[in-house]
Amino acid sequence: MKDRGAISNRGYEEKVMTRHLGRRLRRALRLVFLGASLAVLSVAAQHHPTAAQASVPSAIEIADHALNAPVAVEDEGSYRLIDPVGPGGLTRQAAIGEVVASTMQGGSYGDRQYFGQYGQQIYMPPAQPPHSGANPPPQGGGWGGHRR
């Protein structure tokens, strides 16, 4: 009975040992897995911007966004249409001359289209009323300025 009991105790100890080893192995594996996951996430974070970073456009993105706005192109501003014709206005011949001339007549050179006109389309809305400069404000719609 004693021998049987000794054999039985040894078996019990072996079982306990095996269980302990299994637990340790599983813990070790969990730690390895966690470490590997952290490493992968860390590498991914280095390559992909966070949500906060992604919301800040790059310099070239801001520039291209502005240059793709309709207002980036220039027109004649307040000289866009040919003047009124008739008494007190242009003669018919003068008006025709304005259209067919090979040089600009009465044109105005410089910035005619203001980005402020399309402020909401650009990244930052105007902080103050636009068109405080020397140039008259563009009016109307479509391509902007028109002749009064």
Partner 1 sequence: MKLHKSLAVLAALLAAGLTYAGAASADGFFHRLRVDSLISDGITLYRTGEYKNSLGKFDAALSLSNDNVEARYDRGLDLYAMGRFSDAAAEFHTCLQQQADFVPALFNLGVTELALNHPDAARAVFLQIINDHPKSVRAHFDMGLSKFLSGQPDQAAKEFAVASLLHPQYVQAHYDRALAEYRTGNLVAADSEAGEALKLNGSYAKAYFLRGAIRLRQGNSPGARNQFETAARVASDPVLKSLCTQILAQIGA
- Give the span between the Cα atoms of 119 and 131, in whole angstroms: 12
Minimum distance of partner 1 from residue 145's CB (angstroms): 10
Report residue 24 as tokens: 């340790």
Please give the residues from 29 up to 48 whose contact with partner 1 meets the rule CB under 8 A: none
Q: Which is nearer to partner 1, 5 or 125 (CB)?
A: 125
Among 116, 105, 113, 120, which Cα is nearest to 142's? Answer: 113
- Give the span between the Cα atoms of 111 and 72, in whole angstroms: 10
By the rule CB under 8 A, 52 interacts with partner 1: no
Minimum distance of partner 1 from residue 71's CB (angstroms): 9
By the rule CB under 8 A, 136 interacts with partner 1: no
Minimum distance of partner 1 from residue 137's CB (angstroms): 10
DSSP three-state, residue 85: strand
- Give the span between the Cα atoms of 113 and 121, in whole angstroms: 14
By the rule CB under 8 A, 133 interacts with partner 1: yes
Residues that bind partner 1 (CB under 8 A): 56-60, 62-64, 66-67, 70, 72-76, 80-82, 84-89, 92, 95-96, 98-104, 107, 109-116, 118-119, 122-128, 130-135, 139-143, 146-148
